[in-house]
Amino acid sequence: MATQKVWLITGASRGIGFAAARRVVAAGDKVALLARGDSVQAAAAELGENALAVQADVADAVSVQAAVDRVVSHWGQLDVIVNNAGLHRGGKVGRLAHEDWQAVLDTNLTGALNVISSARPHLNEGGAIINVGAVVGFRGFPGDAAYAASKAGLSGLTRALAVELAGKGITVNLVIPGLVLTEMTGGLTESALESMRKTIPMARYGDAAEIAEVLEWVARSRYMTGAFVPVDGGLMSSFGVPG
């Protein structure tokens, strides 16, 4: 029987993060759901005794360290990190407020590093780190400078750490969801969503459970590291972006 693993998933109270947590528990592993809001408590309770809620802001390194310490104290180990927490604030150059730019980078990029830095001492050979990217990190989209820059930075962080941690038997990969209907995309108009859907070769939105399936597979793969794995219905291929 495979050894039970302990996962830490950020942004796990809803959307892709919660779908991944649900899949992990169904597979027999344990999962810590990390999010800023109180709703993470109910999310963990829904998944049962193999789920633990931890409230923290990934942009706050002290908060993250306390959360990681709690997970390790509770379950005695930590094996898989999924950096899924994300913040989106749009605005074209000249209109994008500096505080919005900084908030997006603090959450999406620095937040991922905060989690990795705190978790790294507890990860052993066989451990895995998965960063959740975005198509916009590889192709331009007007008004998305902050989000695109943060996700492009995450791709660079992934490859640097893949090389740095390979000798320790820890894999680091980037999963790149396409257009998935979550609270983050909830602010888009129906016409905007439909326009985006038409650019997807498979002509449909993705489902959070489909992204979760790939997250689990990537985490369990032992000879893949530094890889970019699109789960986007062919969107990146249609724009000639290398995966």
Model confidence at 200: pLDDT above 50: yes
Residue type, 198: K
Check pLDDT > 60 for residue 171.
yes
Distances in Å between the Cα of 92 and the Cα atoms of 177, 188, 241 are: 23, 16, 23
Q: Is 205 a catalytic residue?
A: no
Query: What confidence tens digit (pLDDT) does each residue in 10-23 have?
Result: 999 999 999 999 99
Strand partners, 81: 8, 129
- 106 Cβ contact list (under 8 Å, min separation 6): 59
Give the rounded percent of residues in the chain with a pLDDT score beyond 90. 78
What does the pLDDT average to over 174-192? 76
Query: DSSP letters along the chain, please?
Result: -PPPPEEEEESTTSHHHHHHHHHHHHTT-EEEEEESSTHHHHHHHHH-TTEEEEE--TT-HHHHHHHHHHHHHHHS---EEEE---------TTTS-HHHHHHHHIIIIIHHHHHHHHHGGG--TT-EEEEE--GGGTS--TT-HHHHHHHHHHHHHHHHHHHHHHTTT-EEEEEEE--B-STTTTTS-HHHHHHHHTTSTT-S-B-HHHHHHHHHHHHH-SS--S-EEEESTTHHHHTT---
Give pLDDT tens digits for 82-111: 999 999 998 888 899 999 999 999 999 999
The residue among 228, 237, 215, 231 whose CA lies nearest residue 19 is 215
Q: What is the pLDDT of residue 1?
A: 40
Tokens of 162: 């893949």
The sign of the CA dihedral 123, 125, 126, 130 is positive
- pLDDT at position 3 is 84
Full-model pTM: 0.93
Please say if the pLDDT value at position 187 is more than 90: no
Q: Of these residues, 18, 101, 147, 228, which one is catalytic?
A: 147
The tokens describing 144, both together, are 């998305």
For the chain, which domains are there?
A: 6-238 (3.40.50.720)
pLDDT digits (tens, 9 = 90+) for 34-88: 999 999 999 999 999 999 999 999 999 999 999 999 999 999 999 999 999 999 9
| Residue 33 burial by Cβ neighbours in a 10 Å radius (0-12, 13-18, 19+) | buried
